[in-house]
Structure formats: structure tokens, C-alpha cells
Amino acid sequence: MKLIEERIVVGGTINVAVLRPVGDGPWPGALLYTDIFQLTESTLRTARRLAGSGFVVCVPEIYPHGPLAGVALEFDDAGKQAGLAGAAAMTTAEFDADRAAVLDHLAARADVSTLAVTGFCLGGHLAFRAAFDERVEATVCFYPTGLHNGALGSDTADSLARAAEIRGRLMIVFGSQDPHVPAEARLATVTALYAAGLTDLELHVYRGGEHAFMRDVGPRHDPELTDLALASAVSFFRGR
């Protein structure tokens, strides 16, 4: 499937990459949150794979208001520190406001039929919060960080405490060797979700998967697990 890619600005300040199939649609819309490194070519390659499965994919910068606006960070120590600093400068309310702006854009597009959300790492946590929006029919969180303890930005997020607000379908993917989301964090997350009444959800723990195993740059990348995870996400979004 051939794609069209463009860059737009949403809400006056949020730089967004939009990737969609050639044609008129409509197609399901997917808000895709990046990891802390923002709009890297690695994340865009993943977005292309999702769009190529028949989705309109919107990939916003997660730090659109400060010095990292327009910056794709390198996968090195300096890039990591800059990304973490970007997160520390954002409040949960600011993340939520940006999410509302991007979902409003997706919902208003003539080529979009339904809304879904996904994200990686910190973006997986943001995807979870996006599921609070009743318009979101399905959400896939890839190794969401800070979900178990509220670590997100400059304040403590109330994400798990609000889990009962989720009305759409939810899928969470973990790697078994992820030091940022170790077994006890996964257990705390799943326990809280069940306690909130979210018993109809899908959980994957990929054996041997490290943190960011889907990022196709660096030694953590596992191509086989990536293919499995993406195929599962596409199938989940399609309503299996």
C-alpha cells in the first residue's frame, strides 16, 4: 500500500507527522505517541508500517512547547538526557491538553472513520491516558513507563487511579527483560487494572524482550518480537 506523508501543525504549536494510504478512505485513525526521542526516523518507520496496514497515523511531538519543539533527538546519552528533561518540564495537564488537540484533529478529518491510540515507552503511558477519551475505541500501549507509579512529567500522574474511565478495548505489551517495567511493576499495573474492573483486556509479555525492543536502532532491537507485536496491534485495532 502506497502512502502519503505530510507535516502539519495542530493546536497552533504541535508539530505532527501524518501518514496515510493513497486514496480517499476513510480509514481508522491512530494517534501514535513516540518515545522520549520524538519524531525520529526509527519511529516514523514504525508509523509507516502501521499506515501501510490501512490507518491514518498522526505522530505528534510530545514536547511541542519548549526548546525541543522541532527536534528529533539522537539515540545517545545526550539525547536521552534531553528527552528526560523534556518530560520533566511538562505537566500531566499539558500532556492531556496536547492529546485532546490531536484527537480533535483526527476526529474531524474526513478520511478518518474511528479513533485508536498507541505509543512507546513514555508514549505508551500517554497512550493509556488517551484511552480516557470516550471517542477512543482501542488502545495499545507498548512497554509503558511510569504507569505503575505515576511517573510521567513534572508531577505525579493519576493514570492507574483513573483506569475505570477507559471504555474502549485495551492491550498492553511488555518485555520480560525490561528494567524500566520489571515484573513487580507489571504485576502492580495488571492488579490495578483488574481492580478497576478492566477484566476484558489483552496482555502480552514477550520473553526476552528488553526495553524499547521495537526500536529498530541499537542492540535492544528484536526484529521477530517487533513483527509479532505490530501484527498483534493491527489485529487488535481491527477488532479481533
Identify the band that residue 37 occupies on the pLDDT scale cut at 50, 70 and 90. very high
CB 59 within 8 A of CB 19: yes
pLDDT greater than 80 at residue 240: no
The CATH code of domain 3-237 reads 3.40.50.1820
What mean pLDDT do residues 110-125 have?
98
Query: What is the domain partition of the chain in residue ranges?
Result: 3-237
Q: What is the pLDDT of residues 62-111, one digit of tens each?
A: 999 999 999 999 999 999 999 999 999 999 999 999 999 999 999 999 99
Distance, CA of 30 to CA of 158 (rounded, Å): 24
pLDDT at 199: 84
pLDDT greater than 90 at residue 26: yes
Identify the band that residue 12 occupies on the pLDDT scale cut at 50, 70 and 90. very high
Distance, CA of 42 to CA of 51 (rounded, Å): 14
Distance, CA of 135 to CA of 94 (rounded, Å): 20
pLDDT at 105: 98
What sign does the dihedral 234-174-47-118 (CA atoms) show? positive
Distance, CA of 207 to CA of 219 (rounded, Å): 16
Q: Which of 213, 214, 165, 160 is nearest to 187 (CA)?
A: 160
Distance, CA of 56 to CA of 48 (rounded, Å): 10
What's the predicted TM-score (pTM) here? 0.97
What mean pLDDT do residues 148-163 have?
97
Q: What is the pLDDT of residues 159-204, one digit of tens each?
A: 999 999 999 999 999 999 999 999 999 999 999 999 999 988 999 9
pLDDT at 1: 87
How many Cβ atoms from other residues are within 10 Å of residue 214's Cβ? 26
